[in-house]
Structure formats: C-alpha cells, structure tokens
Structure 1
C-alpha cells in the first residue's frame, strides 16, 4: 500500500518484518506530523472567543455611556422644568391663590429644585474612564483581528492533506490489524491509552457544560445589542423615544422598556400595527446581524419580507415611517462587513411605489419586476377558465 500511494520507492526490499514495521511506522508518524497542527485551530478558537468577549465589553461600555448621558440630560430637564418655581413663589399673590396649600406645594417644589441643583453641583464623573477604556478595547479588537487573519492565512496556505490523511489512516489500520494478531498486549495498551483520552475529553466537555449558562447570557446580550442597533435607526417613532428592546426567551417575543424608568421590568404596550411592524423588522434584521457576527452556519443568509407598507397608509405621518422602513432595509446592507465576504439576500414583496427608494437614492434596492394589469405574478394565460 505504501508503494502504491507513492509513499515508498518500488525498489525498496525489506530484509525482515521488524525493519518493515519500523519503516512503515516512521512514514505514518512523519505524515501525521506534517498534517495541519490542531494547536492552530485551538489558538484560532481562543482568539475568536476573546474577540467576542471584547465585543461584548465594548457593547456594555457604549450602552453604559449612552444611559449615563441620558441620565444627565434627564436631571437637567427636571431642573429646567422647576425653574418657574422661584418666580411663582415670589409672585404668589398675583399668580396663584394665596393659601396654605399653595405655599406648601410651592415650598416642596422649591426644595426639590434645590436638591437637584445640589446634586448637579456635586455630580461626579463615571467611576471608569469610558472613552479611554473604549479606545483600549477597540485597539485590542484590531490587534486580535490581525492575529486571526494571519493565523487563518497560515492555515489556508498549508497543502490539502485530506486525501493523504485518509491513505495514512488506511495504512495505519492495516498495520494495527496485523500487529494485533501477534501482539495482544500492545492492543491492550492502546485500549488503555484510548480510555485515558476519552476520560480527558469527558472532563473537557463537562467543563464546557458548566459554562453554558454564561455563554447563553452573553449571546442574549449580543442579540439585544444587534436588535437595539436597528431600533435606534427609526426617527419617526415618537411613541418610543428613549426606549430599549429586550428579547424574552420565555415567551420568545420582543419587548420594549423605558430608559427613563430603569427600575421597571414591565414592558411597554406596543399598540398599533405600525409599531408591531417596526419590532418585526428590527428583530429579524438584528437576528441576522447577530448570526453574521457569530458566524452561524445553520441559518441561510436570506430574508423574505411581504408588504411592510401595509400598516402605513392610514395617516399622513405614516409615509415618513414607511420611508424609515426602506431606509432601514437599505442600511442593513451597508452594515455588512464587505472585507469578510459577508453576503445576504433580502427579497421584498411590496405594494408601495418605487419612488420611495428611487427618489432617495437607496443604492441597495433592485426592482426585479412590477406586476400590474395583465402582468400578474401568475399570468392570466396560465389560468384556466
């Protein structure tokens, strides 16, 4: 077999069995050593895991920064809203009924204004250097991506060892079969060695199972971050300003929560068909963004959307919301990482006219056909009377 697969010269003649066994074992070992080293794959997996961890930390820092800024803005707004209190307090007789209840009410508001001003005066910066930490993580992410690209390139440059590994496996099995006939003890030793390997793999797998909950939590946070990214793209959803989305794994539904009441765990009622359509699009675009980021091979990179304009022809401002929808779909393709050869197809069936995307130069839209009159999706000449 070694000679047939050009692993040995045809002119070689074996003097004895021991010599042939030593030579064949050397061929097997040399070919195994020249195969792709599994340590490179382990190193690549570690780098990818570290990259995901840094991306999660970046998302947390950015979310913290956004919420901290919104918190400061809310405090300032509250202070501004209480500014007229001093005027009312000084002009009580001319502006309000001069009563004990009025004086008590204005006094409470005045105390609240003083507390807010004192809070603003002694407010401290965040406990961490957010911008500095963000820059540091971004640089770490770039360095890891460079390492991943270099390692992936080194693996791709290695020769294709698949067929040769199969041949070596066949020769190794044949040799083991021959040796097992005359060397039972060697076979027992190999079984013991295999048992140790299986025990080692068992411990490794049990360790992975213990980390499942943490991995699940991290992936849900990453999914919410991807959905939130598209949710914040809508400019004409005044009902949901300063809100965030959260995927509920128990009900398998997408909920909306108010950022102004961070202690509340009760989701906001979404209401109209228009709002449900927004959540529908944000979820599926965010889901596919998450799948692209995690390099999932189990879900096709394609999405069908049927007439998202259906809820948007009731009021005048609905046309603006519909335009936001088309901008969002166009933006989705702009967020794909072209350098990583990410591909995606979105098939849109729509009743809205093409001027929505043509007048606004949405470069990712491509009109395939218009079914108007006799040019129907199913041509009339194919229908039997």
Structure 2
C-alpha cells in the first residue's frame, strides 16, 4: 500500500522506538515539560520556543505530501514575519494516519515541544491531544471538526457554527428572519444543519421549515417541488443551503428558479462558499446569493506573497499554519512564562491572521471574522465587510 516499502519500514521502526520511549516516560515524569497552573507548559521566552508541526509527510497519498509541504512553507513564512520572537520549529511526519499523529505528538513532547501545531485530520488531532494531555501540552489542529475540540485540543479551521452565526446575524439585520434549512442526509451536511439551527436560536431569527434529501440526483430532483411548496406555505424569506457546488447546489440553482423560487425572494444563503469553483460564478441561479468569505484584502495578500516565494498558490489549509505561528508569536512576545497555556491562548482580544481576526474559545472551538459576499454579474461582491476587531460590527 505504501509507495516505497523502505519508507514504511522506517516509519514502523521509528514508531516502535517512540512507543518504547513513552513506556519509560510514563515512569519518569521529568521527561515531560513542567506544566503551569493554567493548562499548559511553562516556557523560557529568552530562548527559541520549541514548536512541533505535525503534518502528513510520508503519507501513501501524494496529495497529503503536497499539502504538508504547503503547510510547512506557510509556517516558516509566519516565523519570518515575527518581531523579535524566536521559534524552534520541529516538523514531525504523521503518514496521514491517526496512529502516526499519536506517535508523532508523543515523540515531539518527549523531545521538548511546548505546543503542537497540527495535525490536519480530526481523528489524528483527537489522538494527538490524548497522547500529550497528561503532559499539559496544547494542540492547535488544522481541523474544523468541533466534535474533537476540547480539553487540550483546539481547532483552527473555520467552523460551521461560526459561518452560520455570521450569516444568520447578517440576514436578521436585512429583514430575512424566517429561515428554511435545506440539507443532504450526510454526516457533514446534517452537522451543518444543526449549526444553522443553533445560529437561528442565538440571533433572533426563526426556523420556518426544514427539508432534507438523500445524496442522489433523483432525490434532489424530487425535493424541488416540496421545497417550493414549503416556502410558499410558511412564508420563508430565506433558504439556507448546506450543500456546496460540489454537491446539490448547482441543481437547486437551476431547478428552484424554474419552480418560481428564486433569490432574493426568498434569499438564498450558502453555508459553503458558493463562488467555488470559479465557474459557479456564471450560474444564473446563484446570482444574488449570500455566503461568507475571509477578509479578502488579507487573504489575497497572503496568497500573493506565498506565490511569489514558492511559485504556486498555497493549499487551502496553509493559512491556518500561518495563523497558528502568528498566535504563538504574539503570545510569546509578552515575555510571560505562561504564554502558551489555555488561558493565554483563549484571550478575548484574539489574534490577526492571514484570513482576518480569530480567537480560540475555551471549549476548543474558534471564532473568525468573516465578510458576507454575494454574486453580481458573475463576480464576487462583498456586501458586509469582515470585522477588524471583536465586539464590533459582524460580532
């Protein structure tokens, strides 16, 4: 299954060695960093701070290795931008597997890491967090899966809850308060629907109706008339779709207008970015739809700088690596030995990353400042800018 058998053998040998080290460490607490009283290890800010980066190098999937390189590149870009803070970045391959991440995290901590950045996948982050929890080391995962957040595991990825909150809050200010949810019966879209329900309850809107469908072209076709009938009977003034353009959304964008249900009456809202891929911008049914996007000025600046340095666009997750290093650097710059504790990581003012402002919550989730955009004349148009500070417009 592995592209190079010798690589797999080396990984197995390394894993066995690290597991042996862990067995010894379990009997000798001094092999782990001392923990502070606020949920994290003490650090010496006068020296380079050891940071472990867990990425899926040595994966059997070539795409994982390319992703890993892009993430590492972005982390090193962030390090170069730090003002007077020295980071000792130590890169650990996970092979793209949960067990690999677990071993890598434990090895990183045994070798002195004070915080872990990564891994990518939710299951990997959960095991990585468990393996270093007793050592008091926090994990900043690139995942957006809130189910694995908590204790010492934080997710940096943009979450359904955050996106739904931003869009429902904006919709309510525009008089679009009776919201119908349309979702596929998949785990991800069901989770998205739950996030929208929570956002509706938190932001003074009302749930007009729900409509779900199986992930098949036939079931999407069959759901169009029931959706149209429900919109008319309930007076819903917005339809919040969990599907993206890689799923059911292009069919809905074509068939619902044919059934007389066309944005902005009711308003189409997408939990996923409806401008991806760029070919979707020309779909007539998506004109006038709403969706959330990162702070475009910051995101485009990062993408341009990355391309100038590495000759290609960054991976979609690369910005989270930059954000993680930026947050660590901002905290370490304070000179506080408790700078990487959970209490410090969850400071209310948050941080500024390449996609805008963000902050980590005590439950391991996050909030990110997002803009609201629409599609007009086949182009993305920002209609409500991303906030530049917490507590202001958009939050």
> For the superposition of Structure 1 and Structure 2, which TM-score range results when normalised by the shorter chain?
under 0.3
Higher relative contact order (CA 8 A, sep 6+): 2
Larger Rg: 1
TM-score by length of 1: 0.25
TM-score by length of 2: 0.25
In proportion to residue count, which structure has more helix? 1
In proportion to residue count, which structure has more strand? 2
